[in-house]
Structure 1
Amino acid sequence: MKRNWMYATATAFFLLAGCSNSEETVQEHQEKPINEEVNKEGSVEEFAYQYPLTGVGVKEESTNRAYAVMVNNDPKARPQSGLHKADIVYELLAEGNVTRFLAVFQSEEADRIGPVRSARDYYIDLAKGYDALYIAHGYSPEAKEMLDSGYVDNINGMQYDGSLFKRDSNRVAPHNSYITTESILKGADNLGYNMDVPPVSLPFLTEGEAEALAGSSAKTAQISYFSSDLFNVIFEYDEETMKYERYSNGERTEDLDSSEPVLLDNIFVVEADHRLIDDYGRREIDLTSGGKAYLLQRGQWQEVEWKNVDGKILPFDANGQEVGFVSGKTWVNVVPSDQGIENVVSFTE
């Protein structure tokens, strides 16, 4: 089991103790299906709790607050650091044809994350949906107004460049700003942010429900953003691990520091209205109205609808019933509706 965020600094950090939980919260966790896992000795371990953003079983209730980091996806920023530890990654267009990531962490700690990039308003809204501490380096005018207003707890590299945020000498700005989990927790402590309130759990399938999934076969899915191969994404399903690997411009998405691949259990592609708002190519993206979506799980895909529920983008079936995620990590791609999701996403059996 992952350790519960112990950290220390020169100014004496304290162990983050889990906050006391109400009987209602404890009961909610007890009513969820018990997760099982086969240990090295071949016996089955049972877990009474789940990490809220992955559904993965854990013996003790997780009380860590999530943090969400803006991560650069310019080709000069690849390979990135820390993405393989994120519970959820959102990929959306920033300027022009360039996508940018919002990586949400809760169940695992990332030693180093980055390159960290500037804030946009719709990424801030996504972070707020998880009540996550929002980490960015820079901002658009709209985003700065939101951050200055106290809309979300946040730490920005514009105020902490060279202290909490460090520059990597092997890369050039703006592709070289990095932050560590230790620095995020240090900054949160200095700013008085509460980091021991976990996010509300996402809906998850039981293992039996996951094994019974029925959809159209799709061992490979490709997502094309406009005509640029640099931002084309391919997800390949591995039957043995029952996980997806991500490829960008033909290269597997791996961690810069450890070479560990990003391994995913849910690929969620949603169609949303995009509108250009300035000469820089910045966009307004409608993440509230809902629309058409595709959900890939266990080598299969199904067409669903997406809805915004309390700031979170979630899948629903044709009858309006919430669709559960397979336990594990999730990657969400948001594509422009004017292209048509059916023209942006293609599947190979």
Structure 2
Amino acid sequence: MSKGQKARTRRTASAAALLAATVTASLAAGCTGSPDPTDDSRGEPRTLQSSPDQSPSPAESGAHGASPLAVKIDNAAAARPQTGLNSADIVYAEQVEGGLSRLMAVYATKLPKAVGPVRSARESDLELLRQFERPTLAFSGAQGKLLPLINKAPLDARPPGKAAGAYYRGTDKPAPHNLYLRPNKLLSSAPGADALTTGFHYGAAPSGGQPEKSRTVRYPSARFTFTWSGKQARWLVSMDGTPAVTTDGKRMAPATVVVQHVKIRASAFHDFLGNNTPYTETVGSGKAEVLRGGRAYNVNWKRASATDGTAFTTAAGKPMNFARGQVWVVFTKA
């Protein structure tokens, strides 16, 4: 049994109790349709609070095993360029209120000095993060009715209210687009590749696929474009038609891009203006395109339960190998 399989086995042992608690809290949250303040441009989010003796030190945060750090990243135009994204092993892109986009960066093999701007968590994040062994989640806060679900989830929730020393306000952008994280204040060191229990396979490219120079994924109010660079052997990222760079001037350029077609439905939550928060379902099965090496491969994806990683397979039923390096997963409506 692999390390990833053992980790998933441990997580499954408590899944029933955690699911029951989450469902109860979710039903309670859905009893009212009134909007909740969130961390959009009109206000700051509500955050989890704790006394000092409830906040583990960085060394203690990593003591429960190989667990990655996940950080919610602002992707509004006012938040760009972001910091620390190129050090992430995985970047997830999801649709949020108003058809905009938000990112979640996952760190296991390297911790940058700073990451941000950090923004609020969403209900979908809890399902997506169940694939990891008690990950640390850094976020700016959440809607009040979502906080009980975050408290009950099998993760180490670390917003500013529980780790004030890990965050700081930058001077380059206006609030709320200027909250940054010092990852080494949450984890003493990078946990390593064993923490990435995603189900991803890496190796030589399979035969087949179609030549692909550029792929664009559109949300109602946002879009991502990935353009192949043979010189860099990477997919160059553009957001809303503008080349995406980090604050050090380097282009965002993953080795593999996954365009994963999923169900996106309404959740029980709303933003400050009453716009519904989309829920991105990452458990299930469907179609996806994997971009690597200047080619696009049509594949199938399957994630049987929240504690499992996602298997991507070719039409022949074989695991789809990703290129070594950073992976972007862009969730789009099936």
TM-score by length of 2: 0.72
Give the equivalent residue in structure 2 for 1:55: none
Please list, as runs of the form range in 1=range in 2, the aligned pairs for 1:1-349 lying within 5 A after superposition.
Answer: 65-131=67-133, 132-141=135-144, 143-161=146-164, 163-185=165-187, 198-200=195-197, 202-206=199-203, 209-210=204-205, 213-226=207-220, 228=221, 231-256=222-247, 258-277=248-267, 278=270, 279-308=274-303, 310-337=307-334
User: Aligned equivalents of 2:93 and 2:286: distance in 1?
Assistant: 17
Asked whether the equivalents of residues 199 and 308 of structure 2 are also in contact (C-alpha less than 8 Å), the reply is: no
Q: Write the letter of the residue equivalent to 2:310.
A: I
Q: Which runs of 5+ in 1 are unaligned?
A: 1-22, 29-62, 189-193, 338-349
Q: Write the letter of the residue equivalent to 2:254.
A: L
Asked whether the equivalents of residues 151 and 157 of structure 2 are also in contact (C-alpha less than 8 Å), the reply is: no
Asked whether the equivalents of residues 84 and 254 of structure 1 are also in contact (C-alpha less than 8 Å), the reply is: no
Quote the sequence identity (%).
22
Partner SS state of residue 185, structure 1: coil
Asked whether the equivalents of residues 121 and 142 of structure 1 are also in contact (C-alpha less than 8 Å), the reply is: no
Cα-to-partner distance string for 1:221-246 (whole Å, 9 max, x where unaligned) = 111112x3xx2111111112211110
User: Aligned equivalents of 2:154 and 2:208: distance in 1?
Assistant: 41
User: Do the aligned partners of residues 234 and 156 (structure 1) sit closer, same or farther apart at CA in structure 2, a change above 3 Å counting?
Assistant: same
Pairwise CA distance, 1:90: 0.3
User: Aligned equivalents of 2:294 and 2:278: distance in 1?
Assistant: 33
User: Do the aligned partners of residues 285 and 204 (structure 1) sit closer, same or farther apart at CA in structure 2, a change above 3 Å counting?
Assistant: closer
User: Aligned equivalents of 2:132 and 2:163: distance in 1?
Assistant: 24
Cα-to-partner distance string for 1:127-170 (whole Å, 9 max, x where unaligned) = 23122211111113464122212421121124444x22111122
User: Do the aligned partners of residues 119 and 201 (structure 1) sit closer, same or farther apart at CA in structure 2, a change above 3 Å counting?
Assistant: closer
Higher relative contact order at CA 8 Å, sep ≥6: structure 1 or structure 2?
Answer: 2
Q: Write the letter of the residue equivalent to 1:253.
A: A
User: Do the aligned partners of residues 133 and 160 (structure 1) sit closer, same or farther apart at CA in structure 2, a change above 3 Å counting?
Assistant: closer
Cα-to-partner distance string for 1:293-340 (whole Å, 9 max, x where unaligned) = 111110110211111154433312234432221111100000122xxx
Partner SS state of residue 260, structure 1: coil
Identify which range, 291-300 or 119-128, moves more after superposition. Answer: 119-128
Q: How many residues align?
A: 266
The 4+ residue runs of structure 1 with deviation greater than 6 A are: none
Pairwise CA distance, 1:220: 0.8
TM-score by length of 1: 0.69
Asked whether the equivalents of residues 89 and 101 of structure 1 are also in contact (C-alpha less than 8 Å), the reply is: yes
Partner SS state of residue 100, structure 1: strand
Pairwise CA distance, 1:202: 4.2
User: Aligned equivalents of 2:131 and 2:333: distance in 1?
Assistant: 21
User: Aligned equivalents of 1:205 and 1:152: distance in 2?
Assistant: 26
User: Do the aligned partners of residues 213 and 180 (structure 1) sit closer, same or farther apart at CA in structure 2, a change above 3 Å counting?
Assistant: farther
Q: Write the letter of the residue equivalent to 1:301.
A: A
User: Do the aligned partners of residues 201 and 90 (structure 1) sit closer, same or farther apart at CA in structure 2, a change above 3 Å counting?
Assistant: closer
Pairwise CA distance, 1:85: 0.6
Pairwise CA distance, 1:288: 0.9
